Structure 1
Amino acid sequence: MPAPSPSPSPAPAALAEAPARPVPPRRRFRWLFAGLLLTLFSWHADWDIAAAAWLAAVPLMRFTRLSGPVNGFAWVFGLGLVAAAAWMALSGLLVPGFWLPLGIVSLAAVTAVPLLADRLLAPRLGAVGTVLATLVFPTARVACEFLIGEFSGIGAFLGVLGTTQHANLPLIQLASVTGAYGVSFLVAWSAPVTVTAWERGFALRRVRGAVAAYTAVLGAVLAGGGLLLAFAAPASDTVRVVGVSPARAAKESLADVDRRAPGFAAFLADRDAQRAAFGPVQDDIVRRTEDAARSGADVVSWPETDVPTTDWGKDALVDRVGAVASEHGVHVLMGLLVYTEDPGLVRNQAVLVGPDGAPSAVYDKAHPTPMEAVAMEPGDGVLPARDTRHGRIGVAICYDADFPALMRQGGRAGVDLMLVPANDWSGIDRMHPERATLRAVENGYALVRQATNGIATAVDHQGRPLGRSDHDRTAQQTMTADVPSSGVPTLYSRIGDTFAWLCVAATTGAAAAVALRRRRDRGRAAGTGAPYTGGQGTAGQSGDG
């Protein structure tokens, strides 16, 4: 990989006005490695540090601004691939197929491409104004996050800065207008403001405009979010939701059930073997559902795929649950793994049973994970929304919540309570429900995520935690949460990802304008016989810090 040139590339006076002093390559590499280390803690994982999201781009940007555009990008992207592979491994995402290389490249790209945009575009836009120059990086960052999430098939699962701030409730209220990408924008904007101040020796008078603009916007967002939390908190009646999972001891009967085993086709033909394997789990979850109903639950939710059944045995299980629901007047969301007559095909379903004992909605997971996709057909991607005496209830399943456009269906339909049965694993069991918090804020509904092999959570429409239960810390996971029975309409649920599309348009427009300006400058230089300098000016970067 090429090393950055020993002397820094020149930059316009708009971005750096101090006399240039050479910065030793060794020091620049220290910034590179420090930035990549911080980045590992800012991609949102179980070991995530929220502050790292604000800091990681600062040393990386310092490195790229003091390096040639190609060399700087090559180093950040190349080492970013290594860091991304480590992140995927630590998150338990080393899965076969296209998803692994796509995920690694996406994480590296969402880190390196915005820095390249800053390096190429900010110096020229700095001639117009420092504030405008500092907007290049956050705009490009949001554009990359959004385009990867929208068109890669991965969803908003990788590299979205906004979800790292899930616990900063005043800040994430912005998501109800812009989606999580607006939070990403504010987090990313801090880096160019900081680096520009660094380049100018932290002399406030020379970066007053950029600092004032950023401080004013961030302050307004935090103040507005704080006011919403203080004066627009949920005030409706509550509905008691109890999440139940089968006991671990009951699931021991499933130890030998493996659809990949040579004898699995024979197992599907043997009803007695199925009853012996599935019966203990089904009996346990039905009993716990009835216990929850007797204890005052209004809604009982199962996790994803923790209860196995078959196409020919599902109706009998639904009837059993329907009897419990009608006797106690509760709603039950059944998370089912449904085996079919084809040994290579299963269904990941959620069945919502009403107090009348009948199923009111049957939903197939729209976005199977890479591990599921080899044996699971996705559903039609239409989220059910059913009116009940406890408000309008919507249903999605686990990974579906990483696709903002899908979850926005619930916001547009006026869902008050979104039930999201889930099944996680060590490596994503903390961060996955944290990401789902942003979907609740974006769309104005409470979200209950009963998760086996992970952490079950419940939040209201402003992201407040209302319930939590760790599957790995108990022999039988149960979570109880009293959640608001009424949601609120949000602007984001109506306008969608307009903000993200504006960032895509702005980044594309800025790149086109700079390219056009460069072409025009070359033409003028050719006409006069003067050498073309690239319009970089003569001012150097500030000292080595």
Structure 2
Amino acid sequence: MRVAALQMVSTDQLSDNLQQAQTLLEQAAQAGAELAVLPEYFCLIGQRDADKLAIQEPFGSGPMQDFLAATARRLGLWIVAGTLPLTADQKDRVFNSSLAYNPQGECVARYDKIHLFRFDNGSESYDESRVLERGSTPTVFALPSRDGHTWRVGMSICYDMRFPELYRAYATQGVDLILAPSAFTHITGQAHWEVLLRARAIENLSFVAAAAQGGVHPSGRRTWGQSLLVDPWGQVLAQQAQGAGVVWADCDAARLQQLRSQLPSLQHRVLV
């Protein structure tokens, strides 16, 4: 199954970001992708954290969700929409939610980011809990591919990748493709991005697709980029350093099964 990771440099203008996403999704479809993954905050990286509140939508309706459903139908493409802000229980918070759409334009899965990023090194400071409500439920969906294999796909977002217990739970559920749409900061990405993603692939013998924000945004925030796809052996199949673009790779179900047969480490777990 051909999987595309879409890298963006989202701005503080929703309409511009949707246009950029549409162009990249069309490129992914033209490249023969069955699944295209948008990055975290594909719809908006604002001047302030609270800008997310102004564009929030209730789950199931709204311009962003309508755009995603219509684009999936038009392109005949599975789309996982990085993240967008969905209305939460608290009035001054939103969920940072990843939605999966099938080629009929139906939303088949929703994952609300569980682990909320906090970082302060004295010069850069982030705290997602100021505007985000934490999710609580790991989410898996089934994707029947043209190759005849039904892929079990585990959803995650950015900072989640620092918490391997989430991905071990996915491995227990038979997940063979992990998605990690992200907006890693430049400083943390430079240090940890690739090694974390490769570790999640290796320890769970799973493919990983990580679509990222990659560039300098109007607020001055600088994101690391390096959208990539990793195979279950930890080999980077495709990547892009910076700037908007599409990277893709073919995820081979036969290779997945071969590697799991050769090294059956998932069967050797003792502490569960």
**C-alpha displacement of 1:348:** 1.2
- Give the partner amino acid of 1:460: D
Residue 57 of structure 1 is matched in structure 2 by none
User: In structure 2, which of residues 173, 182, 185 is the aligned counterpart of residue 422 of structure 1?
Assistant: 182
* Residue equivalent to 1:395: 155
For residue 247 of structure 2, what is the aligned residue in structure 1? 479
Q: 2:201 — aligned with what?
A: 440
Q: Judging changes above 3 Å, is the alpha-carbon distance between structure 1 residues 458 and 405 closer, same or farther for their aligned structure 2 residues?
A: same
CA contact (8 A) 1:433 1:449 kept: no
Q: Which runs of 4+ in 1 moved over 6 A?
A: none
Report SS of the residue matched to 2:188.
Answer: coil
Q: Distance between the aligned counterparts of 2:57 and 2:160, measured in 1?
A: 23
Give unpaired runs (5+ residues) of structure 2: 45-54, 119-126, 214-222
Give the match for residue 327 of structure 1: 74
Structure 1: 5+ residue stretches without partners: 1-238, 255-276, 502-545
User: How many angstroms apart in 2 are the aligned matches of 1:496 and 1:423?
Assistant: 32
Larger radius of gyration: 1
Q: Which protein is richer in helix relative to its size?
A: 1
Distance, in Å, in 2 between the alignment partners of 1:426 and 1:375 is 22
What is the number of equivalent residue pairs in this alignment? 232
1:2-401 mapped onto 2 (5 Å cutoff): 239-246=1-8, 248=9, 251=11, 254=12, 277-308=13-44, 309-312=55-58, 315-338=62-85, 340=87, 344-370=92-118, 371-389=127-145, 391-401=151-161
Deviates more, 1:416-425 or 1:488-497: 488-497
> SS in structure 2 opposite 1:429?
helix
Instruction: Work out the CA distance in 1 between the residues paired with 2:189 and 2:7.
Output: 16
In the alignment, which of 217, 229, 235 is matched to residue 458 of structure 1?
A: 229
Partner deviation per Cα, 1:243-264 (whole Å, 9 max, x = no partner): 2233x4x62xx1xxxxxxxxxx
Please tell me whether the aligned partners of residues 206 and 232 of structure 2 are also in contact (alpha carbons under 8 angstroms): yes
Change in Cα spacing, 1:446 to 1:346, as seen in structure 2 (3 Å) is same
Query: Cα–Cα, structure 1 residues 477 and 295, in superposed 2: closer, same or farther, change >3 Å?
Result: closer
Q: Matches of 1:497 and 1:465 in 2, distance apart?
A: 29
Please tell me the residue identity of whatever aligns with 2:115. H
Q: Report sequence identity in percent.
A: 24
Deviation at 1:496, TM superposition (A): 4.7
Contact 1:446 1:484 in 2 (8 A): no
Deviation at 1:361, TM superposition (A): 0.3
Structure 2 length-normalised TM: 0.76
Q: What is the CA–CA distance in structure 2 between the aligned matches of 1:387 and 1:242, rounded to whole Å?
A: 15
CA contact (8 A) 1:469 1:479 kept: yes
Aligned to 2:217: none
1:402, 1:436 within 8 Å by CA — same for their partners in 2?
no
Contact persistence 1:294–1:328 (CA under 8 A): no
Q: Measure, in 2, the Cα distance between the counterparts of 1:323 and 1:287.
A: 14
The residue type paired with residue 421 of structure 1 is P
SS in 1 for 2:203: helix
RMSD over aligned CA atoms reads 2.5
Inter-partner Cα distance in structure 1 for 2:143 and 2:265:
22
Relative distance call for 1:415 and 1:345 in structure 2 (3 A) is same
Distance 1:450 1:497, change over 3 A: farther
Whichever residue aligns with residue 456 of structure 1, its letter is: S
Give 3-state SS (helix, strand or coil) of 1:360's partner. Answer: strand
Indicate the larger mover: 421-430 or 488-497. Answer: 488-497
Would you tell me which structure has more strand in proportion to its own residues? 2
